[in-house]
Amino acid sequence: MTDDSSDAPKTPAAPKKTGQAGQAMWGGRFSGKPAELMQAINVSIGFDRRLAAQDLAGSRAHAAMLRKVGVISSEDETAIQTGLAAIEAEIAGGTFPYRDEFEDIHMNVEARLRELIGPAAGRLHTARSRNDQVALDFRLWVREACERTVGQIQALQRALLAKAEAHADAVMPGFTHLQPAQPVTFGHHLMAYVEMFGRDAGRFADAKLRMNESPLGAAALAGSSFPIDRHATAAALGFAAPTGNSLDSVADRDFALEALAAGSICAMHLSRLAEEIVIWMTPQFGFIRLSDAFTTGSSIMPQKKNPDAAELVRAKAGRLLASFTQLSVVMKGLPLTYSKDMQEDKVPTFEGFDALELALLAMAGMVADLQPIVENMAKAAGAGFSTATDLADWLVRELDLPFRDAHHVTGAAVKRAEQLGCDLPGLPLSELQALAPGITEGVYAVLTPESSVASRKSYGGTAPDQVRAQIKRWKEILA
């Protein structure tokens, strides 16, 4: 259906009145206006104005498609595109008149467009609904947030790689149950987080692939009777295809849930690293230093230097988990298709991604800033009989003992060292030979943390050469 009316101005017109609050766009059936309380609970422009750029992009694509298929005239499309450009400039300049009376970003843009270009603005909403409009805008926003987050994760990975490369040989204790287990290198420890964050980036990229379908054109819930081209609008907006079911198109918020789930896992990884930074900063560990840039002091204890940035990153994980849970609870009881409950999808998603972005940036800064105290790490690496497994392995290799027998002999050696108040390298050869006569002086060569680390040459192990190989591999991936 084409309208060749030529009353649409070619340049923005002066603002004009729009009528009673809440009735300019959908009030034809209504004789009264909403109660103030209804208006207060219904309005969302306070938070969904963040979708302005996405709303304008969707409207541009929709208008171009409507003109292409002959639903609106070229004159009307020109007026609409001119008006949308003027609105974009107002938003960028901070002069756009956001008004609660128009409820949300979609109505605010449409009302302002009518003020600027007149009746042609009313043709823009042909063959679409606020239901598919908000589904589109929100999906575009989440897709962009996933892209941003991948970049932020990769920046953190690069900071970890640089620190790991500089300290690929620095020996430290590896822990299980937070008890000394076996020596590792600081570079190897940091590379574990590179792996974790790599999986996080993959989850966001995977979520983006799944959400990369356009709901525009699903209209309220059933599709449109107009001859629209949904493939054209999908392509114009960078989607792989249009969504395949109009009901699901407007009812689906899986894309936001999946992104928040990925964010929750990423925040959990950030929290684990933050916890280690907090522990490493304590005098009892003394493994690292952070500069004044990422620490704070105490209002009463002048000696304090607190790792507050790490502690706040640790706390942000709760914000992400809460956002995911909140949106899950909103969606869990909703029948198809759209319900106003879904207006509450944006705040937790916005808040979740805001918290994640801040946490990722702060962590990348801390990693670049922290300096390991290698002498303290090395001293701790030999504590707690951390080379006991190396003794057991030596007994298997050199004396051909079954590993379980070697394990028993080593346990007895640890017990004897405790009784004598020494560590394994300090246990006299006579004491070792009393447990296994074939033990020779050569055993001491494997009982230092440095030799233990150097021996772990299996793929992905902590030997410095293996650490450097993994650093090289990740540099190539991130390149």
Q: Are the CB atoms for 198 and 262 separated by under 8 Å?
A: no
- Residues 332 and 376: their CA atoms lie apart, in Å, by 51
Torsion angle, alpha carbons of 350, 203, 55, 30, to 10: -70
User: Helices (H) and strands (E) in the chain — how many of each?
Assistant: 18, 6
- Residues 284 and 293: their CA atoms lie apart, in Å, by 22
* Residue 33 three-state SS: coil
177 is catalytic: yes
- Which residue type occupies 83? G
User: Residue holding tokens 């819930």?
Assistant: 221
Q: What b/e string do you get for 351-363 counting C-beta neighbours within 10 Å, with b at 16 or more?
A: bbbebbbebbebb
Phi, psi angles (nearest 5°) of residue 421: 70, 35
298 is catalytic: yes
Of the candidates 290, 351, 297, 342, the residue with the CA atom closest to the CA atom of residue 319:
351
Q: CB neighbours (10 Å) of residue 5?
A: 11
Q: Euclidean distance between the first and final Cα of the chain, in Å?
A: 51
The dihedral through the CA atoms of 222, 228, 233, 235 has a sign that is positive
Out of 6, 74, 291, 298, pick the active-site residue.
Answer: 298
Cα 400 from chain centre = 50
- Residues 246 and 337: their CA atoms lie apart, in Å, by 9
Name the token pair of 475.
Answer: 């540099």
Name the token pair of 265.
Answer: 């896992």
Phi, psi angles (nearest 5°) of residue 32: -125, 170
Out of 31, 177, 430, 458, pick the active-site residue.
Answer: 177
- Residues 310 and 275: their CA atoms lie apart, in Å, by 7
Residues annotated catalytic, as ranges: 177, 298
